[in-house]
Structure 1
Amino acid sequence: MNRRALPVAVLAGAGLFAALALPFLYLTPNRLLSGAPHSPQALALAATWALVAAFGTTSAKGGPVAVASMAWLLIAGLPLLASIDAHSLLLTTIPSARVPLGAGFWSMWLAAVLLMLDRLRDVRMAGRIGAWLSLLAALVAMGLGGCFDTLALVREFHAQRGPFMDALLTHLVLAATTLVLALVVGVPLGWWAWRTRRTDGLVVGGLAFLQTVPSLALFALLIGPFAWLAQAWPALGAIGFGGTGAAPAVFALVLYALLPVVRYTVAGLGAVPADARDAARGLGMSRVQLLARVQLPLGWPVLLAGLRIVAVQTIGLAAVATLIGAGGLGRFVFLGIGQGANDMVMLGTLAIIALALVVDLLFQAMLALTERRP
């Protein structure tokens, strides 16, 4: 077996194990109680994963395309199959019953996603984006058509539609604000650290130390100082600046975001050839012109890679900001934990993961376009 076939064999084996050994669905009396496991399509799904393994471990030229296509079908088809099975189960039970997705479904769905990522790794960016967009379009079309309405997760979404959309918007605003502020502060700080050289280790070391502080502890530590500021300057409190809410949350998120921005700014500026800088100085450019016209354009791909890390990291960390009243998708995670409602937890968690993946894909596309630019 060659190296390229090994990931397929591992993921197909994981999918086969999940199909045969883990529950695909649960039937519960309501949204809070646990229920009985059901795996009505176990043998069919196991046969599908065996077929994936057979295609993926062959040396046929069309093997990778076939495996990627099968992974695409599994990602789109598993939720549809689960919804069909859920509809059959709900026909013979009480109206308050729910059908949550089981560990078997999530394991197979994750294996299919990883399999598609692996098979598309050598495909051009346009092909990768096209494959994921077509998959997203298929899932959205089926969702809007009501194909998944029998699943407990979708029923939870319909029950929480208004608060969910508000939380999603708040989460995006928190992440976007953090990214802008991290750029405004981090890029000049990175330029200064690169320019003076001696402060490089001090600045990066200090920001790295902040990364070791647990996010929940940092959010809690900021409540007191921000509450004091709002009390000392009532004008700040009048615009919503206080010990809880968005202000301390954004401040903490910016502190966590500064390290990758500064580090990648230093790396990007350092990647500009000395000959290019000397030529620019020879043309009479000032420091500001040199930075704006030469260093930033040439170092932009490196900085963009840092922004990609910041964006994904911020989307994840913003979930914790819910605990200090900042809102966001973390609200569903913590409310679900408090109520013992697993579907609410999954609703918030999956939304955060999906948002991070979409943002990561957008930054990958921007990075590919930047690297191709002459």
Structure 2
Amino acid sequence: MTPALTPAQKIIQRAQLQACLSSASPAPSAPESTNDRPDSRSSPTPNPFSTPSSGIPNHVTSRPLSTYAQHLKEQFDLDTTASAEVNKYCGLTLEERLLLNFIVNLKHTQMLRKTMNKSEDYKIPGALLTSLRSHAFMLLLSPRLVAYRGNIAKATIDAMREIGVSDIPAPHELGKLKLVQKAINDYLTDCRYQIKDKIASDLKKKQKNRSNVATLTSKIIGEKSVTITLALYRRISFLRFVAESYPEDFKGDGFWVKADTVVGEWREAAGKDASKFFKFTYKEDCSNYGDPSQSGVVATPSAEIPAHQKVINEHAAKVKAPAPKPSGKKRARVEVNDSDDNDGNLSHGEDRQQSTAPTPTQFIIPSRSVTPSPADASSTTTN
């Protein structure tokens, strides 16, 4: 992009226009000036490099360019080196100035190309890539995540900046950030596949042999560094509920779409607090698959969640869901509630797709019966 003209370059532009007008209709009685220097004071003709009067356009004053240059140097508070460059510029002929401007523009273009090449050649450092994946996975499993297919990559980068992770590209380094976001999205695609695969493997077992939610959560996390909490159990129970309740979507490619749709429906039905639905699926999961407190997996109390996980949770609550596909009906747009409820104290938030998710009065899971759950007695030890 060509840089904006400087005040000195604007003078050149006006002088060129004035010179063209003068050469097109020369005065018959006035001898042509042979002095090419803009600061010459001996020429009886108007100096084409003098500054036009601000009140009368297309007329020139008798002030030489060097005088105006001195005024500009003082106005812009130029240092000694810059002032010397201005003096050199004023001493050039018109042809020399035009050539200089052309070369400066070429240099700017060359510098821009080098900057672009640096972004294209950028490779994410190994330590940063490891950190990106770790934080992205934490955000994907955050109990406050609004959409499993949302802009998690951006939220991950924002959270890592707030946490103080080094080597994150600066906001103006768009080329590098694009590569970083792509790396995160590629990793998240693999994570979603792995989570779905582990849920599917567990559902292949007979119901009495299926893992309780604590064991299933532990399998999903594996060796990754994620704080296990009661709120996380509820989210894993929710994912298992979606898998069981919508088998066709789970077998196909619509599992995560359906999960986001159900979250959206619950948020709409519950107003500012959809946590009761996550708690319901959790209790029902415990009733069917066992008490998580008997699994040997120790859950961290909410008051002891690490500071970095709290930051991750805050940014997970700000994730925006993908825009819905165009349809004949206009869907309502709602806002994300940035509350402190780790259970998904979710208010109206993002564009949603239509769903057959249960409403509060229809929240009955086929082939399941809700009975008093041991999780109620164990919540004080797992929360």
TM-score, structure 2 normalization: 0.22
Larger Rg over CA atoms: 2
Higher relative contact order, structure no. (Cα contacts within 8 Å, ≥ 6 residues apart):
2
* Length-normalised TM-score, structure 1: 0.22
Query: Higher helix fraction: Structure 1 or Structure 2?
Result: 1
